[in-house]
Every structure is written in C-alpha cells, then in structure tokens.
Amino acid sequence: QARAMASTRGVVLGLVVALFSIIIFNTLTYRSLQVSLSHEERDHAHSYNLYTNKQLATRLSKAINIETISHEDRSKTDYAKFKELHRYLEATFPKCHSYLEREVVNEYSLLFTWRGHDPSLLPVMLAAHLDVVPPTADLDDVGADPRKNFSGWEHQPFSGDVDDEFIWGRGSMDDKLSVMGIMEAAENLLGEHHKPQRTLYIAFGHDEEIGGDHGAKKISELLQSRGVKLSLVLDEGLPILVGMFPGVSQPVASVGAAEKGFLSLELTVRAKGGHSSMPPAHSAIGILSQAIVNIENNPMPLSPDSALQLLDWVGREGPWWMRIVFSNMWLFKHPLLYALQKTPTFNALLRTTTAVTVIQGGVKANVLPTQARVIINHRIAPGNTVEQVIAHDRDAINDPEVEIRVMESLDPAPVSPSSSREFKTVQRATLQVFQDVLVVPGVMLANTDTRHYWSLTPNIFRFLPQAQTKEDLARFHGYNERISIENYAKIVDFYYHFIRLQYNQ
C-alpha cells in the first residue's frame, strides 16, 4: 500500500512538473506580432510637411461648418450642402482635382483615381464619408434647425471652433477628419511629385450614416462594372484606445479586421382588447413581456474567435501574468471567457448581443390593448449568421402567439486575415507616426460603408488613428464631438505614410 501511494505521488508530481513545464515553455516562446521598422521609418525621414498643425485645424474647421447631415427620412436631407462641400474640397485641394481622375457618383458621392505606374498590381482604396449624423438624437423627429442653439454642446455642433487644443464640431471625429486627412496627404504628395506604384482609389460616400445604399454601394457597383478588384480597403473604424486594457501601459491601435452584422426584429402580439374590468389571464402586453424576458434570459452562445485574436495580440505585449494566461489558452480559456463576459464591453466583443430598443402597446388606462409591439436589435458576432439568430430567438420565445418579422439584417463581414501583407501595411503606417502604440486586429461593433466593398477584396480594415479614452467614446454620435489639433495632424501624417507605402510594393 505504501508503495502504491508513493507511486501515485510520483505520478501526480510528474504531471504537475509537466504542466508547469508546458506553461513556462509556452510563456517564454510567446513572441510579439508587431512589425519592425527600418531606421529610416523610425527616424521619420519622410513626413507630411505642407501646413502647420494650426493651419490643418482651420482647414478641417471649414469642412465642419458645412452641415452635410444625413436624415433617415431622406426628404429632410439638404443635398445642396453636399455640393457645397464638393466645392470646398475642389478649392482647398487644387492638385488633387487637377492630377487625379475625379468622378461624382450618384450626384453626391466622390471617387478619385490616382493611377499607379504598375497596372499589374491590384489597387488599394482609402474610404471615408461626407455625411454626419444630426447634432441631437431627436433631430429627425422634431425637424429642428441644425443652426439653432444646442444646449448640450460646449461649442455649437457646426461651429468648427478651434481653441488651443481641440477642433470642435460634428464630423471632427466621424468622419470629416478622414475626408480632409486623406486629401491633405494626397495634396502634399502630389506637390512632391510622387506617383504610387499601384493605383489608389479615394472613395467618399455621402450617406454612410443611413446605410450607404446611395453612396458607397453605387461606388462599389461602378468599380465592379469595370472589373476592378482591390488589394486592400482602409475605411474609418476603430480608434487608438488609451488606458482600456488592464496591465497594458501602451495605447492599443485596434484595426477592425472583423465587423459585426445586425438584425432588427419586430415582435407583435395581437388580442381582442376590451375593457380592463374583464381582462384575460394574459394581455397582449403580458404575453409580449414574457417573450422579451425569454430572449434576454437566453443570450446567444459565445462566438469569441475574433475577440480572442485581439486579446492574443495584446497579451503578447503585457506583463508576465498576462503572457502566462494568453499563451496557455488551452488551460485558461474557459475561466477567462467566463470572467470577461461579465463586463458589457467584452461581452459585446465575445457574442451576438441583444437589446430591446422600442416598445409600444396600450393607449388608455382602462382599455385592453389590441396589439403590443417591440423591436429587438441584435449585433451579430463573427461566426454567427442572421438565420441562426432568428432561429435562436424563435426557440427562446417558444410562443406561437408572438409574430416575428425581420425589419433589417446584415450578416457579419468576412474576417480579413491579420497575417497578410495588407494588414502589415496598416501596421507599418501606424507605427511610423504613433511609435509607442500596439497595432492589433480588432472587432468593429458598429457598421461602416465597407459592407458594400466585400466583393472587391478579402482585405478590408476599419481604422482611424484618433486616440480615445473611455470617456471620449461617448462623443461619437453624441455631444461635444472633438479631435485634438495634434492628433488630427498625426492622422494626416498617417495617411501620408500609408500612401507612400504604395510606392514600392
């Protein structure tokens, strides 16, 4: 018996030693995936140099002044403002309008073509959008004048105010800074007589904020009709996240290699109605309420692959405890996922989310409603499909009295490979300007114009290098949108370097 116990202890000890050996080996061989820059790149031998930071800020400010608001009800959109922005771009960037091919697509979108000297190479595309959301969430409903005084704003939404530190106004974060930044970089490079090796398309849609069907979609259809295929699309997207990853001191430049889909479902319950003094056991509102509870209590299973890729890239740069965890996901994956899904931010990265956004039912205190209605909005994680989410909700509701209608839907975008030359091009351009950041593949939670470019290339990345803290994220589509003068100048320089990287590829 003693011999057997000793043998068991020996086996256990051997297993423990083997376990720790594997953990230590994996940790020690867990290497960075960041690209290395040459001395020339690190020393910024070439950089944007046409205007000062303050001059760049003033030029962006004038674009912000032009109220290119997209309304869900397109009849409310003032399309003359888009023509005004076209004229401003033409006056501000004369070289781009002289030396690049310029096309107006579907009246209000713009497509520039900068011909490369090697037609055998697939072109690249830089994309952005000319439109902005209304200054307040209720503007579409009340038809308010966008020039009125908005009390929630420190600076009026279309003032384009420039103080000692920031450029203020709608479009300073989403997305006129991209439009102007791309054009500033191209104008500078044209002045230096540069010509890219591969052709560069610059695409500006005019209705991204309401789906892009009249803008980016038409640009894509035009390119497809010409048989164009692309090496890469770089559109607006995720920012440089500052202080959002515990244990990681460096800012994290999250490049959207994946983008969630969406699904809006309308659930309706109909009933006979009548006086509230003689109610049935369950009213239309009661039945619908149970359906909502069933859906909220039964979330979609985790679909974590894209989120885990982001964490893997970040984990390689973290402290020792982080490298131990992320280099040994075979051991720590399940407890890590259990912990992460408890926070709203990581839960949104890890699975298809469910949000009850609109509910209607009943008109009077003593009258039973004849109908109750709710809208459920899902953001669909890579790895799930629209059909899977519909089937999941139907099973969770499990009530034939609840009618389900699809209002709008889009499957998640194909995931672009982070091992590709194209991703490394984005990495390299970022690190040339923001040398202290980590560049990692991420998941775009919202939707962009890139949905219309899926058929043009497998390499679509969503990234705009504006440095944002957790508090800054609320400014997107919210009050007090702003970008720092210094950060905007670096965004211009980022596009400058990105375009230069097309010279020798």
d(C-alpha 54, C-alpha 59), whole Å: 9
131 tagged catalytic: yes
Catalytic residue among 175, 208, 235, 259: 208
Residue 359: what are its φ and ψ, rounded to 5°? Answer: -140, 140
Residue 236 CA: distances (Å) to CA of 62, 288, 462, 495: 20, 39, 5, 12
Amino acid identity, residue 176?
Answer: K
Q: Does residue 101 contact residue 139 with C-beta atoms inside 8 Å?
A: no
| Concatenated DSSP letters of 252-288 | EEEEEEEE-EEEEEEEEEE---EETTS--SS-HHHHH
What secondary structure letter does DSSP report for 69?
B
175 tagged catalytic: no
Residue 147 CA: distances (Å) to CA of 57, 237, 414: 21, 28, 40
Q: Which helix (H) or strand (E) holds 407?
A: strand 403-410
Q: Which residue has tokens 């520039």?
A: 112
Q: Which residues pair with 482 in a beta bridge?
A: 168
Region of 330 (left: φ > 0; alpha: ψ -120 to 50; beta: rest) is alpha
Catalytic residue among 131, 422, 449, 472: 131
Q: Which residue has tokens 């957790």?
A: 470
Residue 279 CA: distances (Å) to CA of 149, 286, 492: 48, 11, 65
Active-site residues: which are they?
131, 208
